[in-house]
Amino acid sequence: MTRALDGMKVIDLSRVLGGPYCTQMLADHGADVIKVEPPQGDETREWGPPFEHGLSGYFASLNRNKRSIALDLSLEEGRTVLMRMLETADIVIENFKVGSMERWGIGPEALQERFPHLVHARITGFGSDGPLGGMPGYDGAVQAWSGLLSVNGDPETGPVRVGVSIVDMVTGLNTAIGILMAVEERHRSGLGQFLEVTLYDAALSILLPYPHNWFMTDRAPKMMGNRSPNIAPYDLFPTAGHKLFLAVGNDRQFRRLCAELERPEIADDPRFATNADRLGHQAELRAALEGLLADKDGETLAKRLMSIGIPAGAVMSVPDAMNNEHTAHRDMVVEAGRIRTIGPPIKFGRTPAGAHREPPAFGAHSAEVLREFGFDDGEIDALAAAGVTPAETKKLI
């Protein structure tokens, strides 16, 4: 089957989430992604339970469609192997601590000089320079630094971390976009380039609309729970069944909502006539809607509201969402070998993505990959014997 990125070769030196999420997306669409793991392996291999077929759920969610080679880049012999691999690679992606690649003599300038065609993508927490340059960054900590935590939660709970690693994932998405932009530009110039994507920048980029509200008013945003600072009603409501999220984006939708709830006169109330009016009277609006929704079934009502053009959602558990018939229709739960996983979210009409290879065991393809890059059996055995390509993970002390 032809895929959009067939023929693209990616050397993936990244670990944990942002980089592997990026490269899994490229691999889903046909790129040959070679996951180069350090002797201790990608740390997410141990982020469990749960474990299945020797893989943690965390690792399995980020590494399908890849091949794994173990390579100790702290050794000169390991870096020599990497250089051989980069000769024919299109992309290298890494998220080493700032300065590591440079200390090994394979920083951005050295790689660009030796491999002018290479697109080199780097993911860091805060960038290579500046007041926080070089500092380590994990998703939750960057949610705190960026202000994201300060607007998630309500006055009773205080700041609450977004429940998924949203900063890491957006960083991975931005990196994938940046890589594809660089590859497109290379078609014109014939040259690769270095790009850096940081968790901090990614977190700031998804704060919409809070920074712009502050730019315009000089009023610091406050925690609002499930409410929106700019739209009403945009909130979670209790019902007799599943809780219901109403996402009413304009006055026309609000009138339809009131009519569907058999109280059309509410839309004529001066307190609720426009979105600005409703924002100014949210407590009264919520009280009116809560009374009308209390005896409704949230899931049934959500579907009815959507059918007449009103965005709404019934609050589903993760198992509910995974078992939803629409999830199945969209092919969003798929099998990657023995592993059940989330399907690719981008749907092409002519070059579809796919989950064609299960996440790899540590170093499972070391010999196979080395042969492809011209190493003979004697060289492969020597590298293994010297610990350059370990067969088992080594624990950090």
Catalytic residue positions? 168
Q: How far is CA 256 from CA 66, 120, 236, in A?
A: 49, 52, 18
What's at 345, amino acid-wise?
A: P
Cβ-Cβ contacts under 8 Å for 267 (sequence gap 6 or more): 251, 254, 255, 258, 259, 273
89 residue type, one letter: A
Q: Of 139, 208, 213, 200, whose CA–CA distance to 169 is shortest?
A: 139
Which residues fall within 8 angstroms of residue 195, CB to CB, at 6 or more apart?
A: 119, 120, 121, 122, 175, 178, 179, 182
Residue 267's alpha-carbon distances to 125, 229, 280, 365, 368, in angstroms, are 47, 20, 15, 64, 67
Pairing outcome for strands 244-247 and 234-237: antiparallel
Sequence-ordered list of residues with C-beta below 8 angstroms from that of 346, at least 6 positions apart, any chain: 25, 28, 29, 353
**Helix H or strand E encompassing 32:** strand 32-37
3-state secondary structure 195-232: EEEEHHHHHHHCCCCHHHHHHHHCCCCCCCCCCCCCCC
Residue owning tokens 């010999």:
367
Amino acid 348 reads: F
Cβ atoms of 206 and 166 within 8 Å: the answer is yes
Q: Which helix (H) or strand (E) holds 306?
A: helix 298-307
DSSP for residue 267: G
Q: Is the peptide bond before 233 cis (omega within 30 degrees of 0)?
A: yes
